[in-house]
A and B are shown apart, each in its own frame.
Chain A
């Protein structure tokens, strides 16, 4: 099983990963082999089975909305590739 070139290109766009044209066939083949594995799921009879998203059916804990931690902007931005005046810098987005 392999995935068509245009599908790989679409996935690459959605996942924001540049895929070199020369490797598309290889990527397609390997993704295809994984999809062949996961397609075994289709044979399972799951009629009437609820999907499970948490092993203990836990629900989101809520807490009071109060300030507990101090702002650590400088410490956190110290690891950023490029910042200025407390802002993260990226290439120009708006002309």
Chain B
């Protein structure tokens, strides 16, 4: 059952080939047996899952159940789950049990989906390798000496290892797309404002966006149908109808104009990765798409702009973790200052502290205009690049990241080496555009990701293109050795 896609599992449940309880038990057993090798799941909610599965079976028997009813999924441990510990990969929230559900969690619950547990992640979603998690790094199912990517590395590895058919994730600078690429699965970061951020622990509020991870574009469409909604509780959520993403997935892509930005194929790109991406573009050409050379001249500025804006917003967002209202508190504080400063020094890991300090620096008196103001102007330039490109093309494609999964510890002590991992993904967050990654080849026995960037609210078209590609190829069907 673990090799079936969500679409196939839905048909199996509805035709009573198996029950949700059987399905749920199957995945719980897989998690118990296999996850010790990957560390992808922080918390398993077996009892709740089996109860939810039994309830789903009743709904299915009664008929008219929503599509995802009875389908087991995992949530990234950044989404608040009522009564279930939500750690955000941090010691700071190791003991935090939220008294409410995030809107995304609520949407899946309403649909009758079964939550198997919560996935590992870089601490507060800050990282590209999952090495910053308080719970230890996640291992890439394709090569366990390599990183799964980050920050949604647990969700990506879990889907790749068939511990769940789908998982939720979040993306602030590439945290859905890069791990999806490194683990050989399909992941979509929707347009900023498409999916509610309510109850999703904030990192950089103007960039964060939740999205689905699954093995196919068709499954991502099914999940996005459930995740996307207008939510009054998120003031940046856009009030706009949610289309049926599954309805248009099989459309022809004849005449589709694909923009290929020269900046995404420059030095630093692994030759094998480039070859796989070019081959994917050629395949789409065969299907009737047209390749158009474009330029996104300010691409090089996206990483520097991001490392001002994201830490600045993080330093403000993470000020709430003060040892007073919830989460970790240091032992025996001598006074209030000591309580704050020691709680935060002991509760946050090194990378999180570094980003808070960088953000504090960029926002402090005398530096605000030179850093934050300037970065917000550069952000505008980056958005203008995309706007110009989308006058000529329907989607933009290139690699998701410069090379396949790298070994643990190989980015060394210099934080900047890790930051450059997101060079192709960050610009879409700065512009608020949707982006996705899907498997398109292998280099050194490790998966390569093809990135699709769409115009605002054009997720349906991106999913359509990805689905058509997956109809003609079978990279998305490949599985790490021993896991089929």
For the complex formed, measure the closest distance between the CB of A1 and the CB atoms of chain B, giving whole angstroms: 11
Q: A51 to chain B: closest CB distance in Å?
A: 3
B251: Cβ under 8 A from any A Cβ: no
Does A42 interact with chain B (Cβ within 8 Å)?
yes
Closest chain A residue, CB of each to CB of B300: A40
Q: Tell whether A17 pairs with B344 under 8 Å between CB atoms, given A35-B358, A41-B308, A81-B329.
A: yes
B340 at the interface (CB under 8 A from A): yes
B289 on the interface (CB 8 Å rule)? no
Residue A52 is within 8 A (CB to CB) of chain B in the complex:
yes
Return A17 CB to nearest CB of chain B, in Å.
5
User: Size class of A's contact patch?
Assistant: 35 or more
Residues of A with C-beta under 8 A to B300: 40
Interface size class of B (residues with CB under 8 A): 35 or more
User: How many angstroms between the C-alpha atoms of A9 and B470 in the bound complex?
Assistant: 54
Give the complex CA separation of A92 and B18 in angstroms. Answer: 60
Q: Are A46 and B357 in contact (CB under 8 A)?
A: no
The reply to whether A56 and B193 form a contact with Cβ atoms under 8 Å apart is yes
Cβ of A16 and Cβ of B379 under 8 Å apart? no
B345 partner residues in chain A, CB cutoff 8 A:
17-20
Q: Determine whether the beta carbon of B416 is less than 8 Å from that of A33.
A: yes
Interface of chain B residues 356 through 413 with chain A (CB within 8 A): 356-358, 360-362, 364, 370-371, 373-381, 383, 413
- A68 CA / B48 CA spacing, docked (Å): 29
Within 8 A of A (CB), among B288-332: 298, 300-301, 303-305, 307-308, 315, 319, 322-329
Say whether B371 contacts A41, CB under 8 Å: yes
Q: What residues on B are CB-neighbors of A39 within 8 Å?
A: 304
Contact B341–A52 (Cβ < 8 Å): no
- State in angstroms the CA–CA spacing of A72 and B324 once bound together: 17
Query: Considering the complex, which residues of chain B in the window 260-306 have a beta carbon less than 8 Å from any beta carbon of chain A?
Result: 298, 300-301, 303-305
Residues of B within 8 A of A34 (CB): 307, 354, 358, 415-416, 419
Q: Of the 9-residue stretches B39-47, B212-220, B231-239, which lies at the interface with chain A?
A: B231-239
Q: B360–A41 contact, CB under 8 A?
A: no
Interface residues of A in 61-95 (CB under 8 A from B): 61, 63, 72, 75-76, 78-82, 88, 90-93
Q: Check B374–A44 contact: CB distance below 8 A.
A: yes
Instruction: Kindly state whether residue A50 has any CB partner on chain B within 8 Å.
Output: yes
Quick check: B380 and A79 within 8 Å, CB to CB?
A: no
Q: How far is the CB of B435 from chain A (nearest CB, A)?
A: 13
A58–B377 CB distance below 8 A: no
State the CA gap A17–B341 with chains docked (Å). Answer: 4
Knowing A17-B345, A18-B341, A34-B354, the reply to whether A52 touches B376 (Cβ < 8 A) is: yes
Q: How far is the CA of A21 from the CA of B376 in the complex (A)?
A: 34
- B99 adjacent to chain A (CB < 8 Å): yes
Chain A CB within 8 A of B432 CB: yes
Q: How distant is the Cα of A37 from the Cα of B415 in the complex, in angstroms? A: 10
Between A38, A41, A90, the greatest number of chain B beta carbons within 10 A of the residue's beta carbon is seen for A38
Check B378–A46 contact: CB distance below 8 A.
yes
A79-B303 Cα distance, complex, nearest whole Å = 37
Report Cα–Cα, A82/B266, bound state, in Å.
Answer: 55
Q: Shortest Cβ distance from B350 into chain A, in angstroms? A: 9
Q: Which of B100, B325, B336, B353 contacts A80 (CB 8 A)?
A: B325
A63 contacts across to B, CB distance below 8 A: 232
Given contacts A11-B361, A17-B341, A27-B357, A58 and B238 within 8 Å (CB-CB)? yes
Residues of A within 8 A of B (CB): 3, 7-8, 10-12, 14-20, 27, 30-31, 33-42, 44, 46, 49-56, 58, 60-61, 63, 72, 75-76, 78-82, 88, 90-93
Footprint of A on B, CB under 8 Å?
Answer: 95-100, 192-193, 206, 232, 235-236, 238-239, 298, 300-301, 303-305, 307-308, 315, 319, 322-329, 333-342, 344-345, 348, 353-354, 356-358, 360-362, 364, 370-371, 373-381, 383, 413-416, 419, 431-433, 456
Having A18-B345, A93-B335, one finds 13 other A-B pairs with CB under 8 Å, namely: A11-B360, A14-B364, A16-B341, A17-B357, A30-B413, A30-B414, A36-B416, A46-B377, A52-B380, A53-B376, A78-B99, A81-B327, A90-B324
